[in-house]
Amino acid sequence: MHFRVRLASCTSKGLNYLTIMAPRNLWHMRSNFLFGSRCWMTRFSAEIIFKSVSFRLFGVKCHNADSEPSENEDLLNNLLTMGVDVDMARKRQPGVFHRMITNEQDLKTFLLSKGASKEVIASIISRYPRAITRTPENLSKRWDLWRNIVTSDLEIVNILERSPESFFRSNNNLNLENNIKFLYSVGLTRKCLCRLLTNAPRTFSNSLDLNKQMVDFLQATCLSLGHNDPTDFVRKIIFKNPFILIQSTKRVKANIEFLQSTFNLNSEELLVLICGPGAEILDLSNDYARRSYTNIKKKLFSLECTEEEVQKFVLSYPDVIFLAEKKFNDKIDCLLEENVSISQIIENPRVLDSSISTLKSRIRELVNAGCNLSTLNISLLSWSKKRYEAKLKKLSRLA
């Protein structure tokens, strides 16, 4: 019995085609091919068992090793018609444009039904193009799960407009459902879960085991410090620092130990600190926290502050540890140059929240209004613009 195998190559830019004449009722075929990128080298061995000598044509499409896959032209046209910023989307997630199957029209229809405008939908896709890979069924299920936390469709649309990644980052709805049930079960309120969704959405992409590990660690820490309400403890810390669940227990433990040893805190003092103003420090890199505190001490010691004053300064406003070394030093120097004393800064550390340009402009305005900075409560340097301007008008009238 005879058969024919015809090999033909057709080469275009970046593409090779192999055409083989083969039996229609092929039972078994074993073959090895070795292709070069510029020319063909073919090694072929075949063992074929068949019961018919009829043939049909089939083709195999091969990419050159150095070629790039082409973009989906239909997808590009659809996105442009929808008003998507294609350049932005391509920079953020270029792989999406090579997909042959996408669901941009289904996504548009779904979000329109939830109250999103065409402009918002275009913005969402521009910033997180992977959203168009989600199926209508997946979107509907995920939306329903979010509604267990968020009170209205419009509120979800607003969250997506601010942070599309929070909704589209994962398509594992079962994991999301299990995490929501677990976080409710450990005493977190709807308000707390909504805060997690908007600020730290990766919490819900974590595996359930990871979230359980952190909650178990926080509860054990609470009990070791003599507090008898671990549920309240966990709720307070997570509400103060929604990012803590996406950190490792090792990092959080190291930072708790750093705070306790550095400031010589007893259990009650430590509890108050980490459930309150110190909660945000817990997700910092421990090395960064230590370096930052070392720099704060060095700078304040150079200005003849005591150890007690340094500790009072940091404990009254732990967020100062977030400031990089240069930024902290520059702000202190700026205030000193404007005749603000170091004792005033120690008493009002929140002034370091303001930028250097804001500090300088406000000091200049206060001086022009006839204020004496040496006797002034400088906390107004960090007030909101509206509150500050109202106070400035009042001081100007009194001058």
Does residue 18 lie within any of the structural domains? no
Does residue 13 lie within any of the structural domains? no
Q: What is the pLDDT of residue 18?
A: 40
Would you state the structure tokens that stand for residue 41, as one six-digit string? Answer: 């080298």
Backbone phi and psi for residue 263, each to the nearest 5 degrees, phi listed first: -105, 10
The per-residue pLDDT for range 198-214, each reduced to its tens digit, is 889 899 999 999 999 99
Would you state the structure tokens that stand for residue 181, as one six-digit string? Answer: 């049930």
Q: What is the pLDDT of residue 25?
A: 40
Q: What is the pLDDT of residue 287?
A: 96
323 near 289, Cβ under 8 Å?
no
Count: domains in the chain: 1
Other Cβ atoms less than 10 A from the Cβ of 123: the count is 19
Does residue 163 lie within any of the structural domains? yes
Does residue 142 lie within any of the structural domains? yes
Q: What is the pLDDT of residue 67?
A: 55
Residue recorded with tokens 């040496």: 374
State how beta strands 15-23 and 8-12 pair.
antiparallel
**Alpha-helical segments (H) within 1-135:** 73-81, 86-92, 104-113, 118-127
In whole angstroms, give the CA distance from residue 221 to residue 280. Answer: 16
Q: Residue 29, exposed/middle/buried by CB under 10 A (0-12, 13-18, 19+)?
A: middle
Backbone phi and psi for residue 386, each to the nearest 5 degrees, phi listed first: -65, -45
3-state helix, strand, coil in the chain (%, to 5): 60, 5, 30
Residue recorded with tokens 């009722």: 25
Does residue 92 lie within any of the structural domains? yes
Other Cβ atoms less than 10 A from the Cβ of 115: the count is 14
Q: What is the pLDDT of residue 296?
A: 97
Tell me, what CATH number does 118's domain have?
1.25.70.10
Domain limits for position 118: 72-171
Q: Which residues in the chain land under pLDDT 50?
A: 1-63, 65
- Largest Cα separation within the chain, whole Å, is 113
> Among residues 103, 115, 97, 21, which one has the least CA distance to residue 60?
21
Backbone phi and psi for residue 101, each to the nearest 5 degrees, phi listed first: -120, 120
Does residue 98 lie within any of the structural domains? yes
